[in-house]
């Protein structure tokens, strides 16, 4: 079998990529369901019902999509510059810690100021969390995959520490959690009596902003240029180091924003299980959307659907909830296959004598 | 009080623990080393170790004997390696993304399968793990007895795999082909050897090693499978490979050094727990790994073809 | 070989090629870039499968597409770009593929002995335990040849073997080839260097556009005839306009730089003057510091000592952006790696260096997409960049068009100094002429131009002044029309250095 690069990839083919990927992951999901003794169609019904079957369900899906959009954007923008930020999980928690430090009573502002302030603090914390990795990369050429990843473990241990000690909520009766965010800082609900909060809007607006930056500004141009070919970008007068650091900080900041939405929007306070892997799922979100910011919104909603739906489906059909994680993982891999399928033509071995 | 910190180093238990802690790292680092020598960065290591841990343990739980359990783990590792190689070697997909995808897939499949076979229970079930071997005369030596000669067979296997890997890489024709694949694959092709095959095999073998490393945790170090039990060891192994300059002997050294620091950290915790929260001790391994990478970064000579996919016909 | 035909993608690389080589004969295969020489050799060697035709060695038909079989039957190939693993030793590089893959041992002792034997027989001195990284270019080539001889080849194909060698090393190579042929080997020599071919070959095969246009004995050939056969048409040489010099634009005084990654030797006491309206050519075998010199003038590296003055003013800070603003343009030697971003569109590549240009983007940083398109269109029209659409990825452009785009992009900035490093490497005749025109026009517009090239013909064609780089030092500049190629060649190997370096 031989691969030959296509000269020009037609537009419609690139749209096929996520569609193929989704179909393939659902196929794998169906297979696993069969192995788990659960009829696939019935299971999928429960999945869809769980994600969209009621006002509450839709709100849950939207609430789950919120951090995924942000971590997806974090991964997307970093990967564009070929900066492999796997540390979104840690950066998210960094944002959450920061928001807890300033938002549980230390500072009190009216809502219209407090909420933007919290977002700012969270983003800064996320950017700071990624800074060591990008500096090590620029100064010492240390691979950022491993450093951002190891930072995740370090930051989560730090969260455990602060929850045991400095930020422990005295009223939580021994349970490791922090004090609640003050009322003025809590993100308002946008759907009554549901968990869907303002963070969802923030996430979508952020996605639009990133889309604009990437496509219509010189900075976005630089990000793409550096990502495709940093040497040529350098020769044309662009500062690769500055661009990379900025991109990395924005990426970290976006993940930090996710920490804010979860702490000040969804949960109301910091706990150790604030994020069930949103940082890692964000990578899948970004890949599925081919790193496109608008696509990331849809891809995040899709994966949120899978997670929320799988929750209720697993209860109804007695299937381990890890099915959702498998689907996400398969999605990443099937996107890769689809990408190769669309960018290359396959030739099967034929010996011409 | 300070003297207590030094006394830890005199404790036989500390050294024995060092050796135990090093074993999964040895397997994992050697495995990743083989992959990278062939030119493939295998970021699926954390997931493959999880899969190895789960499969090995489950096989024994379901009735297999311990060595067979290791074999099953190795097989599953090799299968994930084959999957990885299909993406990266044959299709030329991004090694970074593929690796992360494999880690996610291997972990989630492991957890899914585990939950399927063993629905939730309050106490995780256990198996009869590898027991320490009794070697006549040697096991009873003072100090050196517990340190070197009261380990499980699996532990000795870990140390044996170092000379095995050294032979493979440096003395065997297959190993030379692996090295060539990672340095200049076109030279390999010029000799009529299929680069893709060599790389695929290297990744499969390396992944098998990784899975065995995971199985060590559930079959020798402990006797149960916990969620998240690999706890970053895979990523640490990646740092150790660079630290070891892709050489098996140095990989052993790195693993031992690291394990020593980890064993030390556990004991130091007990001494200083009152002053310094335990979380900071737990952070040490990860911080040290980052340091190791910084130190190693300056002197490294990466395999020239690492991360570059090879396609026949696309020359120069 | 009878009637070999090879179609490659949409291009017919080899069409109905038939020829034969006798024992103990040196056959030269001649043709310009893209004529199909390398494709043909790859077919013989088994890398490519021909669409039709057969190959027979010593009367026995060979299986196509099987490199292993080709090696086994006695064909060896020394590629233009070395297939060596730098981090491994000489011995390891030779041993690859010699032992059965599933064997237990590498048989190093026996191999070492054999290497010594071959070394002596053919005069190829080498240390088996040396790391390839530490070898010189000439030594690396010796290793490549050793590899083929180790396989007991009957036929050795040398693909552009003298590309990076000094004239002295070339002579050594030819001695080796003669001794190989005396032992009964046959040699196919691929080259585009007429002098060398006329010196060493027995027969000459000329390819043009994938077809054989001539198959003659060397005695019947001469330079003029061969040149015409290769090109097949009259080439328009750019007309040299009369030079109008201005004052010095760039002055380098006793510049020293420390060794860098790109240039392991660093610059030593460089003195250089560039004037507007003049082309200064730098000759020299690659690896003598040319890259460092270009990067210095482009602002990428900082000198350890010495000073650089631009229009009479000393320059203190060295960064690319600043030098670009001063009006210095750098056309790098690896255009696909350092010049153009293959995955971005031609339009985007056209404005890559213009993000600060108020015509392209607002000061706040918003791209003016319509203006970008107009800019790109202008460049393509003005500098004859042929493309189907501006939104195509730049990697689809041919080498010549990429170079025209790059040079055009720089010229639009109205630079005062242009550095062109190997500007016509890998280009076909038409593109070469176009690039030379662009450079000569720039010269007559009053710009100062520095051209670094290994192609001595090109050097003498377009330069007004010439210096030679050797071991990090630059010889004094001499008038181009007063220099002989042989003289430059000698300077390139350091023989006349003592007299010529200030």
Q: Which residues of C87-109 are buried (b: 16+ CB within 10 A; e: fewer)?
A: bbbbbbbbbbbbbeeeeeebeee
**Contact across the interface for B187 and C81, Cβ inside 8 Å:** no
Q: Can you give the pLDDT at residue A353?
A: 32
Among A214, A222, A232, A241, which would you mutate to test the C interface (most chain C Cβ atoms within 10 Å of its Cβ)?
A: A232
Q: Residues of A with CB below 8 A from B91's CB?
A: 3, 336-337, 340, 344
**Nearest Cβ partner of B192 from C48, C80, C97?**
C97
Query: CA-nearest residue of chain B to C86?
Result: B183
Residue B98 distance to chain A (closest CA, Å) = 7
Topology given in CATH for the domain delimited by B23-118+132-299: ABC transporter involved in vitamin B12 uptake, BtuC (1.10.3470)
**Rounded distance between C-alpha atoms, residue A325 and residue A332, angstroms:** 11
Helical pair A240-260 and A111-140, crossing angle rounded to 10 deg = 140
Tell if the CB–CB gap between A337 and B112 is shorter than 8 Å: no
User: Which of A29, A154, A156, A166 to mutate: most B Cβ within 10 Å?
Assistant: A154
With contacts defined as CB-CB under 8 Å, which chain B residues touch A337?
87, 91, 93
Structure tokens at B54: 């789960």
A266 in a domain, yes or no? yes
Domain count, chain A: 1
Cβ(C452)–Cβ(C421) below 8 Å: yes
Residue A353 lies in a domain: no
Domain boundaries, chain B: 23-118+132-299
Chains touching B (3+ CB pairs < 8 Å): A, C
**Of the partner residues A5, A147, A160, the one whose CB lies closest to the CB of residue B290:** A147
Closest CA of chain A from B117, distance in Å: 9
| Residue that the structure tokens 């199985």 belong to | B215
pTM of the model: 0.82
> Helix or strand or coil: residue C502?
coil
Q: Does A44 touch chain C (CB under 8 A)?
A: no
pLDDT for residue C497: 42
Question: Among A51, A57, A105, which Cα is nearest to A307's?
Answer: A51
CB-CB under 8 Å, A217 with C367: yes
Residues 83-112 of A with CB under 8 A from C: none
Is A4's Cβ below 8 Å from some Cβ in B?
yes
Which residues of B are less than 8 Å from C106 in CB distance?
171-173, 176
Q: Give the SS3 label for residue B311.
A: coil
| CA distance linking residue C286 with residue A225, whole number of Å | 29
CA distance A133 to B260: 26
User: For chain C, how many helices (H) and strands (E)?
Assistant: 17, 22
pLDDT, one tens digit per residue, over A130-187 is 999 999 998 888 889 889 999 999 999 999 999 888 877 777 776 778 878 887 778 8
Mean pLDDT across chain C: 80
Model confidence over B145-171: pLDDT tens digits? Answer: 888 888 888 999 999 999 999 999 998
Encode C184-209: b = buried (16+ Cβ within 10 Å), e = exposed.
ebbbbbbbbbbebbbebbbbbbbbbe
User: What is the average per-residue pLDDT within C360-364?
Assistant: 87
Cα–chain-centroid distance for residue B47? 11
CB A310 within 8 A of CB A320: no
Q: Which residues in chain C are closer than 8 Å to A231, comparing Cβ atoms?
A: 337-338
| CA A321 centroid distance within chain | 20
pLDDT of residue A57: 87
Q: Does C71 touch chain B (CB under 8 A)?
A: yes
State the Cα–Cα distance between residues C281 and C201, nearest whole angstrom: 31
Q: How many CA atoms lie within 13 A of A216 on its CB side?
A: 9
Domains of chain C (ranges, CATH numbers): 2-231 (3.40.50.300), 248-340+397-500 (3.40.50.300)
**Which residues from chain C sit within 8 angstroms of residue A238, using beta carbons?**
355
Q: Is the pLDDT of residue C474 over 90?
A: no
Measured between alpha carbons, how far is C447 from B294 in angstroms, rounded to an integer? Answer: 46
Tokens of C167: 């004239």
- HSE-up of residue B78 (Cα within 13 Å, Cβ side): 9
E-assigned strand segments in C149-277: 155-159, 186-191, 203-208, 211-217, 248-256, 270-275
Query: CB-CB: which of C87, C97, C103 is closest to B193?
Result: C97
Contact residues, chain B, for C97 at CB < 8 Å: 177, 188, 191-193
A303: containing domain: 2-346
Residue B300 has a pLDDT of 64
Q: What does the pLDDT read at residue C241? A: 59
Instruction: Label residues C270-298 b or e (16+ Cβ within 10 Å = b).
Output: bbbbbbbbbbbbbbbbbebbbbbbbbbbb
Q: Which residues of B50-63 are buried (b: 16+ CB within 10 A; e: fewer)?
A: bbbbbbbbbbbbee
Distance CA B136, CA B154 (A): 18
- Cα separation of C141 and C81, whole Å? 10
A193 touches chain C (CB under 8 A): no
Cα separation, A213 vs A221, in Å, equals 8
CA distance A85 to A247: 10
Closest by Cα among C294, C253, C284, C273 to C464: C273
Query: Positive or negative, the Cα torsion across C37, C38, C39, C42?
Result: positive
Residue C237 in this model has a pLDDT that exceeds 60: no
| Residue B95: pLDDT over 70 | yes
Q: Could you tell me which chain B residue has the CA closest to the CA of A38?
A: B116
Q: How far apart are CA B99 and CA B246, in angstroms?
A: 19
- Spatial separation of the C-alpha atoms in residues B288 and B284, rounded to whole Å: 6
Of B141, B171, B132, nearest to B19 (Cα)? Answer: B132
Residue B316, pLDDT > 60, answer: no
Interface residue A80 vs chain C (CB under 8 A): no
Please give the Cα distance from A19 to B33 (Å, whole number): 36
- Transcribe B29-97 into DSSP letters: HHHHHHHHHTT---TTHHHHHHHHHHHHHHHHHTT--HHHHHHHHHHHHHHHHHHHHIIIIIS---HHH
Closest CA to B211 of B76, B86, B44: B76
Tens digit of pLDDT at every position of chain A (353 positions): 556 666 666 677 777 778 888 888 889 989 999 988 888 888 888 888 888 888 888 889 999 999 999 999 999 999 999 999 999 999 999 999 999 999 887 888 888 888 899 999 999 999 999 999 999 998 888 889 889 999 999 999 999 999 888 877 777 776 778 878 887 778 888 877 778 888 999 999 999 999 999 989 999 999 999 989 999 999 999 999 999 999 999 999 999 999 999 999 888 889 988 998 899 999 999 988 989 999 999 999 999 999 999 888 888 888 888 888 998 899 889 888 887 777 766 666 544 33
Q: Best interface-test mutation with B: which of C43, C83, C151 has the largest number of B CBs within 10 A? A: C83
> Does A169 map to a domain?
yes
Q: How far apart are CA A73 and CA C345, in angstroms?
A: 24
Residue A329 in any domain: the answer is yes
Confidence of residue C488 (pLDDT cuts 50, 70, 90): low
Summarize pLDDT for B180-208 with one digit per residue, the tens.
Answer: 999 988 888 877 789 999 999 999 999 99
Q: What is the pLDDT of residues B13-28, one digit of tens each?
A: 889 999 999 999 999 9
- Of B155, B123, B151, B125, nearest to B60 (Cα)? B125
Q: Which chains touch C (3 or more CB pairs under 8 A)?
A: A, B
What is the ipTM metric for this complex?
0.87
For B139-149, what is each residue's pLDDT tens digit? 778 888 888 88
For residue A237, which residues of chain C lie inside 8 Å, CB to CB?
Answer: 320-321, 324, 353
Whether C363 has its CB under 8 Å from any CB of chain A: the answer is no
CB contact under 8 A, B179 and C88: yes
Yes or no, beta carbons of C67 and B189 under 8 Å apart: yes
Pairing, β C313-314 against β C328-331 = unpaired
Is C367 in CB contact (< 8 Å) with chain A?
yes
- The full length of chain B comes to 316
* Angle between helical axes of A199-216 and A218-228 (0-180°, round to 10): 80
CA B215 to chain centre: 10
Give the model's pLDDT for residue A352.
37
Cβ(B107)–Cβ(B50) under 8 Å?
Answer: yes
Of C49, C343, C365, the CB nearest to A352: C49
CA atoms of C285 and C166, how far apart (whole Å): 7
Asked if the structure places residue A351 within a domain, the reply is no
Q: Which of C431, C427, C423, C490 is nearest to C459 (CA)?
A: C423
Residue A224 contacts C, CB cutoff 8 Å: yes
Strand partners, A227: none
Q: Tokens 């990000």 sit at which residue?
A: A223
CATH of the domain at A276: 1.10.3470
A residues 150..189 contacting B (CB < 8 A): 150-151, 153-154, 157-158, 160-161, 164-165
CB-CB: which of B188, B313, B316 is closest to C96?
Answer: B188
* pLDDT (tens digit per residue) in C153-185: 888 888 888 766 777 788 888 888 888 888 888
CB C69 within 8 A of CB C46: yes
Residues in chain A: 353
Q: Over 50: is that where the pLDDT of B55 sits?
A: yes
DSSP annotation string for C183-198: TT-EEEEEES-HHHHH
Q: What percent of chain B has pLDDT over 90?
A: 52
d(CA C198, CA A64): 76
Judged by DSSP in three states, B251 sits in helix
**Cβ distance of C106 and B173 shorter than 8 Å:** yes
Query: Higher model confidence: residue B73 or residue C252?
Result: B73
pLDDT the model gives residue A88: 95
Query: Residue holding tokens 């030092």?
Result: C473
Flag whether pLDDT at B44 surpasses 90.
yes
Q: Given an 8 Å threshold on Cβ–Cβ distance, is C95 in contact with B303?
A: no
**Encoding tokens for residue C484?**
């002989």
| Cβ–Cβ gap C101/B193 under 8 Å | yes
Between positions 73 and 102 of C, the ones with CB within 8 A of B are 77, 79-81, 83-88, 92-93, 95-102
Scanning B49-68 for CB atoms below 8 A from A yields: none
Tens digit of each residue's pLDDT (9 = 90 or more) over C125-160: 888 888 888 888 788 888 888 888 888 888 888 888
A81, A321 Cβ separation under 8 angstroms: no
Name chain A contacts of B108, Cβ cutoff 8 Å.
Answer: 322, 325-326, 328-329
């Amino acid at each position: 079998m031989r691969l030959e690069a296509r000269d020009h990839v037609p537009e419609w083919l690139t749209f096929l990529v996520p569609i193929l990927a989704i179909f393939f992951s659902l196929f794998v999901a169906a297979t696993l369901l069969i192995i788990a003794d659960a009829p696939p169609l019935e299971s999928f019904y429960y999945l869809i019902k769980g994600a969209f079957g009621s006002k509450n369900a839709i709100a849950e899906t939207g609430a789950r999509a919120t951090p995924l959009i942000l971590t997806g954007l974090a991964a997307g923008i970093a990967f564009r510059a070929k900066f492999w930020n796997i540390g979104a999980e840690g950066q998210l928690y960094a944002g959450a810690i920061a928001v807890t430090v300033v938002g549980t009573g230390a500072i009190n502002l009216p809502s219209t100021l407090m909420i933007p302030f919290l977002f700012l603090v969270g983003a800064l914390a996320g950017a700071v969390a990624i800074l060591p990795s990008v500096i090590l990369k620029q100064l010492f050429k240390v691979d950022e995959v491993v450093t951002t990843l190891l930072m995740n473990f370090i930051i989560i241990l730090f969260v455990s520490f602060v929850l045991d000690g400095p930020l422990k909520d005295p009223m939580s009766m021994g349970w490791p959690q922090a004090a609640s965010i003050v009322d003025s800082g809590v993100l308002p609900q946008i759907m009554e009596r549901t968990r869907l909060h303002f963070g969802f809007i923030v996430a979508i607006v952020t996605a639009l902003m990133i889309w604009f930056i990437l496509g219509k500004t010189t900075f976005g141009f630089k990000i793409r240029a550096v990502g495709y070919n940093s040497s040529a970008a350098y020769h044309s007068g662009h500062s690769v180091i500055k661009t990379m650091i900025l991109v990395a900080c924005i990426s970290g900041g976006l993940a930090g924003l996710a920490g804010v939405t979860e702490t000040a929007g969804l949960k109301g306070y910091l706990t150790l299980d604030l994020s069930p892997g949103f940082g890692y799922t964000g990578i899948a979100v970004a890949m599925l959307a081919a790193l496109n910011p608008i696509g990331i919104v849809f891809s995040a909603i899709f994966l949120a659907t899978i997670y929320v739906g799988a929750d209720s489906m697993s209860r109804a059909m007695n299937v381990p909830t890890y099915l959702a994680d498998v689907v996400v993982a398969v999605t990443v891999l099937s996107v890769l296959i689809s990408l190769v399928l669309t960018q290359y033509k396959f030739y099967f071995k034929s010996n011409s004598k | 009080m300070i003297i207590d910190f030094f006394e830890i180093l005199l404790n036989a238990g500390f050294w024995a623990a060092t050796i135990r802690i090093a074993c999964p790292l040895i397997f994992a680092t050697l495995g990743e080393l083989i992959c990278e020598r062939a030119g493939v960065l295998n970021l699926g290591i954390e997931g493959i170790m999880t899969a190895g841990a789960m499969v090995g343990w489950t096989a024994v739980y379901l009735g297999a004997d311990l060595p067979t359990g290791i074999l099953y783990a190795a097989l599953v590792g090799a299968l994930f390696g084959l999957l990885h190689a299909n993406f990266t070697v044959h299709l030329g997909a991004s090694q970074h993304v593929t690796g992360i995808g494999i880690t996610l897939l291997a972990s989630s499949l492991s957890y899914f399968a585990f939950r399927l076979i063993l629905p939730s229970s309050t106490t995780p079930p256990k198996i009869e793990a590898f027991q320490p071997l009794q070697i006549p005369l040697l096991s009873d030596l003072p100090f050196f007895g517990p340190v070197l000669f009261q380990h499980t067979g699996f532990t000795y296997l870990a140390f044996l795999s170092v000379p095995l890997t050294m032979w493979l890489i440096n003395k065997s024709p297959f190993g030379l082909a692996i090295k060539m694949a990672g340095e200049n694959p076109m030279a390999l092709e010029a000799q009529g050897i299929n680069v893709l095959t060599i790389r695929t095999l290297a990744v499969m073998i390396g992944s098998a090693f990784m899975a065995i490393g995971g199985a060590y945790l559930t079959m020798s170090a402990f006797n149960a499978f916990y969620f998240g039990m690999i706890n970053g060891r895979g990523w640490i192994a990646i740092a150790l490979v660079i630290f070891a300059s892709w050489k098996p002997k140095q990989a052993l050294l790195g693993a031992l050094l690291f394990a020593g620091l980890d064993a030390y950290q556990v004991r130091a915790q007990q001494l200083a727990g009152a002053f310094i929260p335990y979380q900071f001790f737990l952070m040490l391994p990860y911080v040290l790994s980052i340091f190791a990478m910084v130190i190693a970064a300056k002197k490294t000579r990466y395999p020239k073809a690492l991360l570059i996919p090879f396609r026949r016909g696309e020359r120069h | 070989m009878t009637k070999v035909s090879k179609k490659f993608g949409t291009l017919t690389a080899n069409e109905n090629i038939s020829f034969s080589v006798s024992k103990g004969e040196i056959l030269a295969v001649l043709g310009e870039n893209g004529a199909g020489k390398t494709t043909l050799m790859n077919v013989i060697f088994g890398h490519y499968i021909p669409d039709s035709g057969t190959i027979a060695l010593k009367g026995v038909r060979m299986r196509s597409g099987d490199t292993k079989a080709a090696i086994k039957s006695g064909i060896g190939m020394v590629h233009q770009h070395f297939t060596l693993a730098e981090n491994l030793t000489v011995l390891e590089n030779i041993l690859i593929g010699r032992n059965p893959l599933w064997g237990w041992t590498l048989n190093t002792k026996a191999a070492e002995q054999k290497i010594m034997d071959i070394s002596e027989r053919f005069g190829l001195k080498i240390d088996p335990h040396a790391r390839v990284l530490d070898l010189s270019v000439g030594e690396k080539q010796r290793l490549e040849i050793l590899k083929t001889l180790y396989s007991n080849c009957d036929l050795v194909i040398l693909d552009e073997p003298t590309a990076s060698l000094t004239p002295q090393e070339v002579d050594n190579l030819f001695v080796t080839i003669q001794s190989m042929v005396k032992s009964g080997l046959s040699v196919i020599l691929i080259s585009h260097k007429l002098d060398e071919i006329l010196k060493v070959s027995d027969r000459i095969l000329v390819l043009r556009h994938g077809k054989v246009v001539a198959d003659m004995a060397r005695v019947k050939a001469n330079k003029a005839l061969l040149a015409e056969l290769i090109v097949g048409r009259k080439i328009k040489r750019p007309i040299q306009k009369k030079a109008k010099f201005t004052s010095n634009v760039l002055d380098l005084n006793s510049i020293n730089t420390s060794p860098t990654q790109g240039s392991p030797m660093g610059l030593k006491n460089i003195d250089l003057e560039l004037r507007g309206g003049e082309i200064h050519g730098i000759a020299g075998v690659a690896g003598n510091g040319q890259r460092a010199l270009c990067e210095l003038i482009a602002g990428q590296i900082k000198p350890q000592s010495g000073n650089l003055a631009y229009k009479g003013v000393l320059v203190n800070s060295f960064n690319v952006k600043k030098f670009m603003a001063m009006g210095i343009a750098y056309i790098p030697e690896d255009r696909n790696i350092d010049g153009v971003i293959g995955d971005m569109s031609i339009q985007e590549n056209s404005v890559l260096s213009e993000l600060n240009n108020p015509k392209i983007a607002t000061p706040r940083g918003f791209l003016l997409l319509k203006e970008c398109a107009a800019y790109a269109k202008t460049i393509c029209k003005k500098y004859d960049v042929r493309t189907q659409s501006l939104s195509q990825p730049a990697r689809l452009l041919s080498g010549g068009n990429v170079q025209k785009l790059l040079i055009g992009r720089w010229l639009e900035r109205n630079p005062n100094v242009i550095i062109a490093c190997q500007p016509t490497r890998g280009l076909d005749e038409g593109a070469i002429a176009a690039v030379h025109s662009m450079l000569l026009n720039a010269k007559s517009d009053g710009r100062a131009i520095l051209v670094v090239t290994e192609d001595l013909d090109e050097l003498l064609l377009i330069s007004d002044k010439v210096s030679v780089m050797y071991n990090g030092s630059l010889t004094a500049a001499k008038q181009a029309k007063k220099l002989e190629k042989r003289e430059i060649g000698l300077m390139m190997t350091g023989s006349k250095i003592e007299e010529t370096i200030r």
